[in-house]
Structure 1
Amino acid sequence: MLADHEQDHLVDLLVATAEVIGDQLRPNAAAYMVQDLACYALPALEKALSSCRRELKGRLSLAAVLERIDDGHPAPNEAWAVAIQAADERATVVWTTTTQQAWNVALPLVEAGDKIAARLAFLEAYARLLKDARAERQVATYTPSLGFDAASRSAVLADAVTKGLLQHEAVSQHLQLAAPSPTFNPVALLAGKVEAAPGANEKIRARLEEMARELAA
């Protein structure tokens, strides 16, 4: 939900967008439009209004703004390409709740070995669920379905975090942390020498050189 100051900003954007395309929109009418738009993130609304300024001629309507909002829901075939990966229990899948619900409809057919019928059932269910979600102004919500392959699981989750689909805090316990690179040569240390490892940065190298001089003294 947009904060009050964001809603005020959106009113200004709506009025300005209408003017740019040759329309007139009074602030009180724009405020009514904001009531139907406030459930979306401001960047998505700004992008939609930018599209309106490029594409519309003469009239700005609520429907025109809504159809240009990227609500995060993947296209049906894109959703199926993600969902079918869940047929492999080793695979970790990051999908929308709508995709997951449609997959539950298709899963019995997948398990029966009929992927063609499963795809058709998925697409039909997904289209219905997507229509309902958009009618209720629901933006896409992503969740992980964890597979038992730990290495690929960590990579998929890290990628989803990078893309902003998941919050790091929500999946941090499933992410494998890379082992820290050594800053000194442990073999040389056993021989009484202090040597920096190849990956050590300049600050660490300087400190190790200082330690080496102290040991030599």
Structure 2
Amino acid sequence: MLTDVEQERLVDLLVGTAEVIGDQLRTSAAVFMVADLAAYPLPLLERALSACRRELKGKLSLAAILERIDDGHPSPNEAWAIAMRAADERSTVVWTEQTRDAWSKALPLVEAGDIIAARPAFLEVYTRLVKDARAAQQTATHQISLGADSSARDGVLQQAVAAGQLVHEQVAEFLALPSTTPAFNPVALLAGRVEASPEADARTRARLAELAELLGCDPKEQAA
């Protein structure tokens, strides 16, 4: 919700934009428009009004502004392409709530091998969900669906951060997932030897050295 100061700024932007495109907008009318736009962040509204100044001639309407608000919801076909990546359990996907929910409706058809029927089923549900979200003036929020392939995870999450879909704090714990490679050679340990893996850090090597001393053997490092 816009603050009082931001709402005053938006009134000025609306009146000024109307004048630029050859329209006249009374302040009282602008205040009514602000009431319908106040749920959106000011930067989104500023970009929408900039587009209005470039594209409109003669009349500024609420509908024209709403059409130009980039609320972050992918187009139906874009959402379908994103959702299809989730068919591979190895893939990490960053998607909106509406994409996720529409995919859950289409998934039984996908699992049955009927992609042709799954696509229109997805598009129908997704279009309705986005329409409802826009009616409630809800901008898109993105979520993470982690895949099993950790090696490809970082690129997907970092790209989402770069695109402004997620913030670093949301992905940091997933980027820091530990390697599945053990810090020591378990087979060597069974044989009475302590061998650090190449991935072991200095703290781990120190703890392994303590363990080797307790076992009465010399700690060794495996060659990389």
Determine if contact 1:105/1:121 at 8 Å carries over to the other structure. yes
Match of 2:75 in 1: 75
Match of 1:62 in 2: 62
Stretches of structure 2 that go unaligned for 5 or more consecutive residues are 178-224
Distance 2:169 2:2 in 1: 23
Stretches of structure 1 that go unaligned for 5 or more consecutive residues are 178-217
- How many residues align? The count is 178
Distance 1:81 1:141 in 2: 18
Determine if contact 1:39/1:137 at 8 Å carries over to the other structure. yes
Determine if the alignment matches structure 1 residue 106 to structure 2 residue 106: yes
* Residue correspondence of structure 1 range 20-35 to structure 2 within 5 A: 20-35=20-35
Match of 1:156 in 2: 156
* Residue correspondence of structure 1 range 114-153 to structure 2 within 5 A: 114-153=114-153
Residue by residue over 1:135-191, the C-alpha shift from the partner in whole angstroms, topping out at 9 and shown as x without a partner, is: 1111111000011111111221111112110121122110048xxxxxxxxxxxxxx
Match of 1:96 in 2: 96
TM-score (norm 2): 0.76
Structure 1 counterpart of 2:78, one-letter code: E
Determine if contact 1:71/1:139 at 8 Å carries over to the other structure. yes
Determine if the alignment matches structure 1 residue 2 to structure 2 residue 36: no
Residue 102 of structure 1: CA displacement?
A: 0.6
Distance 2:2 2:102 in 1: 30
Distance 1:160 1:74 in 2: 14
Residue by residue over 1:16-63, the C-alpha shift from the partner in whole angstroms, topping out at 9 and shown as x without a partner, is: 011111111111211111111111121211111111112222211111
Structure 1 counterpart of 2:39, one-letter code: C
Residue 122 of structure 1: CA displacement?
A: 0.5
Cα RMSD of the aligned pairs, angstroms, is 1.5
Match of 2:172 in 1: 172
Match of 1:14 in 2: 14
TM-score (norm 1): 0.79
Residue 95 of structure 1: CA displacement?
A: 0.3
Structure 2 counterpart of 1:62, one-letter code: L
Distance 1:64 1:159 in 2: 31
Match of 2:46 in 1: 46
